[in-house]
Amino acid sequence: MFVVNVLGKVRIGKVKSVSRELVSKYGNVFTTDFEVNKKLVYQYSDITSKHLNNRVAGYITRLKVNQKKREEAEAAEAAETEDATATAGSVERASEPAAEAPSPSDEATKEDEATKEDEATKEDEATKEDGATKEEGAAASNEPSGEAPNPGTAEGSDSPAEEPNEP
């Protein structure tokens, strides 16, 4: 059975401290290539041991690779965030009607509503005028006004008309 080591490699403190010091001083010089970093460590440090020098170069390479991965992940996350906000903004803008130029269907609806209101107003006025005209005409000519006859009047029954009591 194989055991997978999920923890990082063990490095002595001297490798980590020298590597971090070199990266802080000459961070832009180092790359993700081990061979290039090995030559740079020989150049910028006073380490004489080949073994320790290679360990430092390897750790610097690992730091640079991890840094590059973090930067790429942050850039991808920023791009996703920008895409999400751009998409959300376009959805919100698409759901709102344009204030500058109303669509033809909106104009037609407004015209229909205005026409209906005008017709309703004219009908109301005509009804009021017809009602007043009918009452005036009925009083003047003693013709039925089209309303239901009052049972107490002469028109509604054969018996003589009785005068209603007025209080």
Report pLDDT for 86. Answer: 77
Give tens-digit pLDDT for 110-139. 666 767 777 767 777 766 666 555 555 555
Q: Does residue 18 have a pLDDT over 60?
A: yes
Q: What is the CATH code for 13-78?
A: 1.10.60.20
Lowest mean pLDDT among 37-51, 85-99, 115-129: 85-99
Q: What are the residue boundaries of the structural domains of the chain, listed by start?
A: 13-78
Q: Which of 17, 12, 8 is nearest to 65 (CA)?
A: 8
Alpha-carbon gap, residue 61 to 38, rounded angstroms: 9
Percent of the chain scoring above 90 in pLDDT = 33
State CA 90 to chain mean position distance. 8
Alpha-carbon gap, residue 106 to 130, rounded angstroms: 36
Alpha-carbon gap, residue 149 to 134, rounded angstroms: 14
Segment 52-72 mean pLDDT: 93
